[in-house]
Amino acid sequence: MTTAVQQVGGGPTPVRPLSVNGAALAGMDMDIDRRSLSPATNGVKFGSGPKRGDTRIVVIVYGQGQENIVSIFADVLGKPYRVAANFESITSADQDVVVGVAAEKAQEDVSSRAKNLVVAINAHCVNLGMPPDVKLSAECDYEFLYSETHFFRRDLTRFTSFVLGQINHHEALMAKPRTYFISTTFPDVHAALPNIDILTVGADAVELRVDLLKEPLSDGTFAPIPSLSYIGEQVMLLRQRTELPLIFTTRCTKENGRFPMDNPDIYYEYLYRAIQWGVEYIDVEVWLPEEIRQRLYEQRGSSRIMSAFHDFSFTFKWPSIQAQSIFLESRKYADIVKMIAFINEHNENFELEYFRSKIRAEYPDAPPLSLINMGETGQFSRTLNKVFTPITHPLLPIIAAPGQMSAAEINAALSLLGQLPKKNIYGISTPASRIATPQAPFYEKCFNELGLPHQFAVVERPSRGSGAVEAWCNQKAFGGAYLSPPMAFSSLMHNNTFFSRHRNGAGPIVTEAARLIGMVDTIVVRPSSNSTPESAPASIPSSPSRHGEMSPRGLANSNAGLPPSSSLILDNATWRGILSTLTRDLAPSAYLGRTALVLASSSDDAVSVIFALKALQVGKVYTVGFKTPLALSRGMVIEPFNSLESLQRARMVGDEASPFVIVSALGPEKSNIVGMLLRVFGGTRGPSASNTRKIFLDLADGPRKGDPGIVAEQSGFAAYGVADVAAFTTVETLRLLVGQNVPYSFVRLASGRGVF
Ligand SMILES: O=C1C[C@@](O)(C(=O)O)C[C@@H](O)[C@@H]1O
């Protein structure tokens, strides 16, 4: 038996997020494994993994009769909980406990709490018909508004993971070649909910135009500006139904909005509350007094500030001192600088582009720029802007600004301009996996919805050898592929002259995930930065014989070869699908230092799981049925169960050290073994006062006897299946292949009950 006991290498990440009150947080411990989470090798950056975040004691202020919410926070964080009489009685001995304080007690000493020791969250149930207590809202670090729907647990997990700094999508979004946000213009978010999945296809974030909300009053009129309690509920509703980051916008009357400008303090009050609600992006208009902008920037916690400037005068000029000074003012307190103006002539779109490149050259460290012209004349600039381009959708009641376009319109325009050439994108399967993954109609649906010109086809490779893969990749119009099942990196490269000669012999770029996991499931094509986009290929492979299918012979005409300026990137999306599934209802920190059990009949089936567990920093992994590759196990504690004795030993340890998460990649024919282990390790609950359910993830597909998912539920586990992982992995695959975000909920919706 080998027990690899090594320290996680790489050292602590030197990040010290600010608390909401602006102070650098004491007790912040950000010791993530840089090697497993850092941007991929060769400068390819696909986002970061979970972080340890804020390690202060989490204190939940709960309303009368709502004590249960404390246990749910504890469950999400994987900690026990206790109820304390007041803030004063909380000491450093509570470090690993979630503490509840009743609202009426909290009112007495919330202001004098030790901010370095505790982070205070005001949890308020909106169903009880009362707005949250004003003092508690203002004094606590954060506020979680909830209603008891079945979406609530996911929202609570997302809120907690975000405000505590364990998950943040900003870095990953800014690394994307293009990002879009949908400007919702509903007077009431309820109207958006039935169509939210379809509305948000192609969007990386959802903007809530707070100034356009209309709060009905009892006398039949509407409030001049919506109240914070009304807005809070609207934020809650929207966030329960979309996993996308939100943008909170109070657009002023002078800039095409409805928010009055006579009292800037109201902006502070509303925008700061949005930070407390854990809204990911806060739109802060640059006309606001500097003191307010500075305060919001310093108090932004995990949220990011989008500085905003709009000019409707038709006199604004990009090549002017004014434009330059607005940029300089904006960037002082911004994570993204947004400047938007009405123009008179098409030529001014080019002036904007010149401004963009000049600013980028002169201020290389400036925040990302979102620069756009309004009106029909300005639409061209909406196709060129790459950072958070605002988009609309035909299902919205009104467009948020003149000239706004949908994601499909922008893509169609890019395609007409030769900026988005038609590509062939493949799902490469094997004869065995083919039937299980009829994904062609789904991909076509996404491409249609997004107005992408690409062609998708499912193709088959033989079970062995990478020759066929090379044939699909080495085409002029090759636009990327996913491999289902994934292929070992070594088999892909073995005796393959195409791959080894690629990039003048440097070979494909391999992301760190793919390298350590050793399995490739996505091949991404990146045109070289100095190559202009190729025009549509001279010939697209002949029409597929059946729905989206082609044979390698069909390539004969299209095979002018992959342009030498393009780079291939080999990546692994599956581990992210697994990570997203495991962290849907639990904060990443719930896994920290815990024990996992992974079952698989070959290491190929287990490696992505192990990598995801490594990113979550589990303390120890028991394995059954495979050997973990050395490169992957480095820095982890891995113990194979290779005898009844080792199983017995794992049973004997205290509940805290027995497996908390069990992942099985064993086929359906072995479900009895999985069931047996679930019974062995189930039954008991997590740490003493916590009601955290253990986690079971079943990666097996197809019919089986004695569904392990049912056994798991009976044995005290929360069970997840392959459909969850497949949907999250598809989201990631689409992001990698076509750079577009298709929400998880849309993937589930479009694929019917299961996934594909
Ligand atoms: O700032 C912007 C951009 C926008 O004004 C546009 O021009 O598309 C639309 C607004 O909703 C958003 O807040």
733 CA → ligand 1 middle, Å = 29
667 CA → ligand 1 middle, Å = 50
pLDDT confidence tier of residue 650, bands split at 50, 70 and 90 = confident
Q: What percent of the chain has pLDDT over 90?
A: 73
**DSSP at 692:** P
| Sign of the dihedral defined by the CA atoms of residues 203, 206, 207, 213, in that order | positive
Q: Which atom of ligand 1 is nearest to the CA of 382?
A: 8
User: Contact at 8 Å (CB) between 151 and 240?
Assistant: yes
Lowest mean pLDDT among 339-348, 349-358, 744-753: 744-753
- Per the prediction, the chain carries an average pLDDT of 87
Whose tokens are 């690993």? That residue is 96
Cα–Cα distance measured from residue 515 to residue 571, given in angstroms and rounded to the nearest whole number: 8
384 CA → ligand 1 middle, Å = 16
Q: What is the pLDDT of residues 563-611, one digit of tens each?
A: 988 999 999 999 999 999 999 999 999 999 999 999 999 999 999 999 9
Lowest mean pLDDT among 97-101, 487-491, 559-563, 666-670: 559-563
Closest CA to 183 of 457, 370, 440, 431: 370
pLDDT above 80 (res 32)? no
Lowest mean pLDDT among 268-272, 337-341, 611-615, 650-654: 650-654
Q: What is the pLDDT of residues 141-165, one digit of tens each?
A: 999 999 988 789 999 999 999 999 9
Tell me what pLDDT residue 685 has: 47
Residue type, 311: D
Lowest mean pLDDT among 265-279, 365-379, 452-466, 585-599: 452-466
390 CA → ligand 1 middle, Å = 6
Pick 50 or 477 by higher pLDDT. 477
CA distances from 152 to 39, 101, 387 (A): 32, 21, 31
CA angle 72, 76, 77 (to 5 degrees): 115
Q: Which atom of ligand 1 is nearest to the CA of 183?
A: 11
Lowest mean pLDDT among 217-221, 237-241, 700-704: 700-704
Q: What is the pLDDT of residues 407-427, one digit of tens each?
A: 999 999 999 999 999 999 999
CA distances from 7 to 593, 619, 633 (A): 12, 10, 11
Question: Which residue CA neighbors atom 13 of ligand 1 most closely?
Answer: 249
Q: What is the pLDDT of residues 54-86, one digit of tens each?
A: 999 999 999 999 999 999 999 999 999 999 999
Q: Which residues line ligand 1 (CB under 6 A)?
A: 183, 207, 209, 249, 251, 283, 308, 310, 338, 340, 372, 374, 390, 400-401, 404
Whose tokens are 């499912």? That residue is 458
Question: Which residue CA neighbors atom 6 of ligand 1 most closely?
Answer: 401
Which of 251, 342, 383 has the most ligand 1 atoms within 8 A of CB, as the residue to mutate? 251
204 CA → ligand 1 middle, Å = 15
| Sign of the dihedral defined by the CA atoms of residues 513, 519, 522, 526, in that order | positive
CA distances from 391 to 10, 117, 440 (A): 41, 42, 27
ipTM for the assembly: 0.98
Torsion of CA 265, 269, 274, 275, to 10 degrees: 90
Q: Which secondary structure element, helix H or strand E, spans residue 455, and what is its range?
A: strand 455-460
Whose tokens are 């292929």? That residue is 487
Tell me what pLDDT residue 752 has: 61
User: Contact at 8 Å (CB) between 214 and 222?
Assistant: yes
575 CA → ligand 1 middle, Å = 35
Q: Which atom of ligand 1 is nearest to the CA of 390?
A: 8
User: Contact at 8 Å (CB) between 667 and 700?
Assistant: yes
Give the 3-state DSSP-derived string for 59-117, with helices as H, strands as E and coil as C.
EEEECCCCCHHHHHHHHHHCCCEEEECCHHHCCHHHCCCEEEEEHHHHHHHCCCCCCCC
Residue type, 526: R
Cα–Cα distance measured from residue 568 to residue 564, given in angstroms and rounded to the nearest whole number: 10
Which of 181, 182, 183, 312 has the most ligand 1 atoms within 8 A of CB, as the residue to mutate? 183
Question: Where would I find the H helices in 187-263?
Answer: 196-199, 228-241
Cα–Cα distance measured from residue 38 to residue 170, given in angstroms and rounded to the nearest whole number: 15
Tell me what pLDDT residue 283 has: 98
Cα–Cα distance measured from residue 562 to residue 537, given in angstroms and rounded to the nearest whole number: 11
Torsion of CA 259, 261, 262, 266, to 10 degrees: 60
Cα–Cα distance measured from residue 578 to residue 574, given in angstroms and rounded to the nearest whole number: 6
Tell me what pLDDT residue 36 has: 32
Give the 3-state DSSP-derived string for 590-647, with helices as H, strands as E and coil as C.
HHCCCEEEEECCCHHHHHHHHHHHHHCCCCEEEEECCCCCHHHHCCCCEEECCCHHHH
**DSSP per-residue string spanning 663-686:** EE---GGGHHHHHHHHHHH-SS-S
Backbone angles phi, psi at 557, to 5 degrees: -75, -30
Question: Which residue CA neighbors atom 5 of ligand 1 most closely?
Answer: 401
CA distances from 715 to 319, 676, 712 (A): 68, 10, 5
Q: Which secondary structure element, helix H or strand E, spans residue 143, and what is its range?
A: strand 142-146
Which of 267, 340, 369 has the most ligand 1 atoms within 8 A of CB, as the residue to mutate? 340
184 CA → ligand 1 middle, Å = 10
Angle between helix axes 722-738 and 440-450 (nearest 10 degrees) is 50
pLDDT above 90 (res 18)? no
332 CA → ligand 1 middle, Å = 21
Q: What is the pLDDT of residues 174-196, one digit of tens each?
A: 999 999 999 999 999 999 999 99
34 CA → ligand 1 middle, Å = 37
Give the 3-state DSSP-derived string for 332-361, with helices as H, strands as E and coil as C.
CCCCEEEEEEECCCCHHHHHHHHHHHHHHH
pLDDT confidence tier of residue 11, bands split at 50, 70 and 90 = very low
Q: What is the pLDDT of residues 447-464, one digit of tens each?
A: 999 999 999 999 998 877
pLDDT above 70 (res 313)? yes
User: Contact at 8 Å (CB) between 363 and 334?
Assistant: no
| Sign of the dihedral defined by the CA atoms of residues 657, 658, 664, 667, in that order | positive
Tell me what pLDDT residue 438 has: 57
201 CA → ligand 1 middle, Å = 18
